[in-house]
Structure 1
Amino acid sequence: MIKTELKETLIDLDKKHFIHPTSSLKQQNESGAPFIFTNGSGVYLTDITGKKVLEGMSSLWNVNVGYGRKELAKAAYEQMSKLAFTNSFSSMSNEPAIQLAAKLAKITPGNLSAVFFTSGGSESNDTAYKLARYYWKLKGFPEKTKIISRKKGYHGVNIGATSATGITPFQEMTSSLAPDFLHVDPFSTESLRQCIEREGAANVAAFIAEPVQGAGGVNIAPVGYFQEIRKICDEYKILFIADEVITGFGRTGKMFACEHYGIVPDIMLLAKGITSGYIPLGAVVVTDRIHEDLIEFSEGALLHGYTYSGHATACAVGLKNIEIIENENLIENSRLMGQELLNGFYKLQKEIDIVGEVRAQGLIGAVEIINPVTNTRFPTHIAPKISAEAARRGLIIRTVVFEGMDTLVFSPPLVINKKEIEELISILREALLAVQNSL
C-alpha cells in the first residue's frame, strides 16, 4: 500500500513538473509514467512497485555494460573526491580527459588521433558540422559549407543535428531549420554522387552517416556501400563523418561499426556507450591530418566548446567503462549473443504470421510487422501495441512507426547471456501472439 501511494504521488508530481523528452505530452498528462524505475542490475530494471523487467533497449541504446556496475560508481566517487570538475578552456586540462583522449585515439580505427569532448551525441554532431566547415575555411575553401546526410538517419536534436536528421517528424517539430543541410537516399551511392554533382563539390563540406541507422529502424548497409561512400568522399574532397553514437563500443560485435567495412572516417562521433549512460559524455575524434591542419592554419582561439568538455569525472567513468568492455570481452559477447538474438527472430518469423523482415548486427536488431494477407504494413501501426503488451509481460523494447515503418527495435546490454536472450524471445513471442490473435 505504501509503495502504491508513493507511486501515485510521484506520478502526480511528474505530470505537473517534468516535461519528458520525445514523449506524448497529452499521454503523459492523462496516464502518467508507465514505469518509475528505482533499481537496475545486469539486464534488468525494477520499478517502484517491485516489478522486474528485462531491458531490451539498454535504455536508449546506451547501457552497454549493464545496470548496477559498482565499478563505475567507484570510479566516479574516487574522481569526484579528488577533482570533480575543472574547465578545459584556455588549454587547461585534467588527467582523466588526457588519458581518455589517448585511449580513444588508440582504440578507434586507422589514423583517428585527436579528441574534442562534448556532453552527448547531439553536441558531438553539431561540433562535427562546425569543425568540418571551419576546417575547409582554414584550408581556403570557405564556400564548402553544405552537409549531406541520409533519409531515415538520426543525428540528434540540437538545431544542426535536427537539420541533419533525415526523419520527417523531427524536422517538422521546428519551423526554422539550419541552412545547408541536404538528404539523400539511405543506401544509394548514386544518390550521393548525384547530390554532390548537383550542388557542386566545391560547396559540400561533409557527408555524415550512421554505420547502422538506429532510430530510423536499425537499417543495415548492403555489402560494399560504405567502401564506395569512402571512395566518393575522397574523389570529391568531402569529409566523411561516421556517427557511431549508437554503434560504438561493442554494440555491433566490433568496437566500432566502421570496422565491419574496413573503412576509416575523417571524423567519428561518439557518446552513449562511451560511459554506458552512467554519466553524460560525448566525443568527436578526428584524423591526425585534420588535427595537424587545424594546428597549422588556425590563428587565435578555437571559439567552440562546452562548459563540460573534458569533464574530469565523466572521463574517469569513460575510462573505467572501456576497461570493463575490454576485460569482460563484451565485444565478442555482443557478436555471439547477437547471433542468438537473430536466430530467435528467425524462429519467430517462421512461427508468427505478422512477423516480416528481421535483422541484426551484433546486439542491435529489428523485427518488421506486416499484414500477412497483403505482405505490407497494416493500415494502423501494430508495433506500439506489441511493445505495450511486451512491457506488461516484463520486456522493454521500442518502436519505429514513421517513414512507412512499423518496426520493433532491440538493443539489450552487451552483458546479456543466452538464457536472458531466450527470455527476451519468449516474452516477445507471447506479446506478438497476443496482439496477432486480437487483430
Structure 2
Amino acid sequence: MSFWHPFADMAAVSKSELLIERGEGVWVFDSDENRYLDATASLWYANIGHARAEVADAVAAQLRTLEAYHTFGDFSNRPANEVCERLAALAPVDDARVFLTSGGGDSIEVAAKLARRHFINQGQPERVHLISRTHGYHGTHGFGTTLGGIEPNVTNWGPLIPQASVVPYDSLQALEAEVLRVGPDKVAAFFCEPVIGAGGVRLPPEGYIQGVADLCAEHGILLVIDSVICAFGRLGTWFGVERWPDVRPDMITFAKGVTSGYIPLGGVVASGKIAEPYYNGEAPMFRHGATYAGHPAACAAALAVLDIYEGEGLIERGRELEGPLADGVNSLADHPAVAEVRAGLGFLAALGLNPDADAAAPARLVAGAREKGVLVRAVIGGVAMSPPLIADQEHIYLLVEGLRAGLDRV
C-alpha cells in the first residue's frame, strides 16, 4: 500500500482499509456498495451532505473560467473577494477582515503569528506567550501542535515552539492563574474552541466563554476563537461563538464547513484592531501566506455552500437538532460500558467509556457501529459523532442503534 494514511495504524490499515466509493446526502457507500450513515460528517465538515450538484456545478463553471491563480501582492479574483465580503459581514468580529488559507491548521498558524506580530506593532515585543486548553485540538502544524491539548498529539516530537502553555479546559480560575504566573504583559493570546471537538466533544462550563472574554479584555489579551469545527451551523450559528452574544473575539479561525469539505478552504477573521496597521501602512507587510489562499475554485465552492446554508435554513439546524441528538445519546447513559455522555450544545456529541475499559475499546465500538451501517469516530476514551446538518430524527434513531451495537461489543 503506497498511501500512508494520516492518524492511522498503518500496520493494521495496510491489511484492511474501508474504501469509500461515493456519497449521497447523509450516506456514503463503500466499494462493495454497503451503505453507511455518515454520522461524523466525515471529519466534522460535510454539513450540507454529499454530492450536492449545486456545488459541483459552481466549481465546474469556475474551473472553465479560471481554475487557479495566486493572490499574493495585488492579485485577486472575484470569488475570493466575494466570499471574504460575505464572511466579514456574517462574523461577530468588529470591523472584520478575512485572511484566507487552505485549511484549519493553516489558519491557526496565521492567528498565532498575527497575535505575536500585533504586539510587536504596538511596541510590546515581549508579549509573545500563547495559552490554550487541555483536550484542545488546533491542527498539527508548528503552532497548532504546540497549542494542542491532546497528549499523544503533542509528545515525541522534541522541543516545540517556546513561550506557550496549556491550562485545564474547564477552569477559568486556572486560566487566570496562568496569566498571572506568566505576567499579563507577556501574554499575547488565548486560543479557545467554543466546544472542544476532536478532544472528545467537551462543552464549556456555564459562564466559561463569557468569563474568558472578560478576562482577556481585562488584561489586553487577544481572544482567538477556534471555530474550525464549531462554525457554519454546527452550534446553530454562523461561527458558533454567537451562542454567547456578548463575546466579540479578536480573531476567529475557520475551515471545514465553509465549503462543507467540497474543496479545502480556511481562513482567519481578524478584527480591525489587528488588521488596520497593515491596511493604513503603519506596519510592514504581513509576510505570510499559502500558495492556494483565495483559490478561485475553492472560493466558488464556498459561495455555493453559503447559498445552500442560507437558502435551506441549515445554519439554525445545529441548534434545532441538539436536543434530539442529546436525548438519543443520553438513552445510552445506563449502558454498563458508558461512563459519560457529552451533548446538548450543538449538533455533536460524545460517549465516554468506563475508565476500566482497555485502550482498544473505542475501536471495538466503532467496528460494532460500522457493522450496523453507522460511522462514528474514535476519540481517546470514547467515540464522537457530528452528523450532517441535513440529518433528521430517523437518522438519529439509526445512529443510536449503531452506538448500542458498538457498546454491546465493548
Contact 2:278/2:285, CA 8 A, preserved across alignment: no
CA separation of 1:67 and 1:51: change in aligned 2, threshold 3 A: same
Counterpart check, 1:124 vs 2:73: no
1:273 corresponds in structure 2 to 257
Which residue of 382, 385, 408 corresponds with 1:407? 382
Can you list the C-alpha shifts for 1:343-394, whole angstroms capped at 9, x where unaligned? 11122224x2222321222211111222xxxxx4425442221111111221
Report if the CA contact (8 A) 2:368-2:402 is conserved: no
Q: Distance in 2 between matches of 1:407 and 1:298?
A: 50
Q: Is residue 185 from structure 1 mapped to residue 168 from structure 2 by the alignment? A: yes
The one-letter amino acid paired with 2:46 is V
Equivalent residue in structure 1 for 2:195, among 212, 221, 225:
212
Q: CA 1:25/1:176 → structure 2, altered by over 3 Å: closer, same or farther?
A: farther
- Residue 388 of structure 1 corresponds to 367
The residue that corresponds to 1:21 in the other structure is 6
Tell me what 1:6 maps to: none
SS in 2 for 1:106: helix
| Alignment partners' CA distance in 1, 2:405 and 2:198 | 25
Distance 1:378 1:300, change over 3 A: closer
SS class of match (1:220): coil
Question: Normalized against structure 1, the TM-score is what?
Answer: 0.90
Name the structure 2 match of 1:418.
393
User: Is 1:345 paired with 2:329?
Assistant: yes
Instruction: Give the alignment of 1:25-424 within 5 angstroms.
Output: 25-29=10-14, 31-33=15-17, 35-111=18-94, 113-262=96-245, 263-296=247-280, 298-350=282-334, 352-360=335-343, 361-370=345-354, 376-401=355-380, 406-424=381-399
Between the aligned partners of 1:354 and 1:300, the Cα distance in structure 2 is 57
Q: CA deviation at 1:333?
A: 2.3
Residue 174 of structure 1 deviates from its aligned partner by: 1.3
The CA deviation at 1:44 is: 0.5
Q: Which amino acid in 2 is paired with 1:253?
A: G
How far has the Cα of 1:297 moved from its partner? 5.8
Aligned residues: 408
414-423 or 114-123, larger mean C-alpha shift: 414-423
Moved more, 300-309 or 409-418: 300-309
In 2, Cα distance between the equivalents of 1:27 and 1:356?
A: 28
- Contact in 2 for aligned 1:112/1:285 (Cα 8 Å): no
Q: Which amino acid aligns with 1:174?
A: W
Cα distance in 2 between the residues matched to 1:174 and 1:298: 38
Letter aligned with residue 337 of structure 2 = I
The C-alpha deviation readout for 1:255-283, integer Å capped at 9, x for no partner, is 22211112111000000001011001001
What CA distance in whole angstroms lies between the structure 2 residues aligned with 1:195 and 1:383? 33
User: Any conservation in 2 of the 1:118–1:282 contact (CA below 8 Å)?
Assistant: yes
> What TM-score results when the alignment is normalised by the length of structure 2?
0.96
**8 A Cα contact 1:138 1:294, kept in partner:** no
| Residue of structure 2 in register with 1:7 after alignment | none
The 2-side partners of 1:315 and 1:66 are apart by 18
What secondary structure sits across from 2:332 in the alignment? Answer: helix
CA RMSD of aligned residues (A): 1.4
Q: After the TM superposition, which of the residue ranges 286-295 and 19-28 deviates more from structure 2?
A: 286-295
Q: Distance in 2 between matches of 1:153 and 1:362?
A: 17
- The amino acid that maps onto 1:408 is V
Q: Secondary structure at the match of 2:297?
A: helix
- Is the deviation greater in 212-221 or in 420-429? 420-429
Structure 1 residue ranges without an equivalent (≥5): 1-14, 371-375
Paired letter, 1:429: R
Aligned partner (choices 422, 426, 429) of residue 404 of structure 2? 429
- The answer for the alignment partner of 1:3 in structure 2 is none
Cα deviation code 1:287-346 (max 9, x no counterpart):
122222333464443211111111111111111111111111112222222221111112
CA distance in 1, matches of 2:154, 2:142: 9
Q: Distance in 1 between matches of 2:268 and 2:363?
A: 34
- Give the whole-Å Cα distance in 1 for the aligned partners of 2:382 and 2:69: 44
CA contact (8 A) 1:138 1:297 kept: no
Which residue identity lines up with residue 229 of structure 1 in the other structure?
V
Q: Is the 8 A contact 1:105 1:113 kept in 2?
A: yes
Q: Residues 120 and 380 of structure 1: is their aligned pair in 2 closer, same or farther, counting only changes over 3 Å?
A: closer
CA distance in 2, matches of 1:200, 1:298: 28
C-alpha deviation, 1:112, in angstroms: 5.2
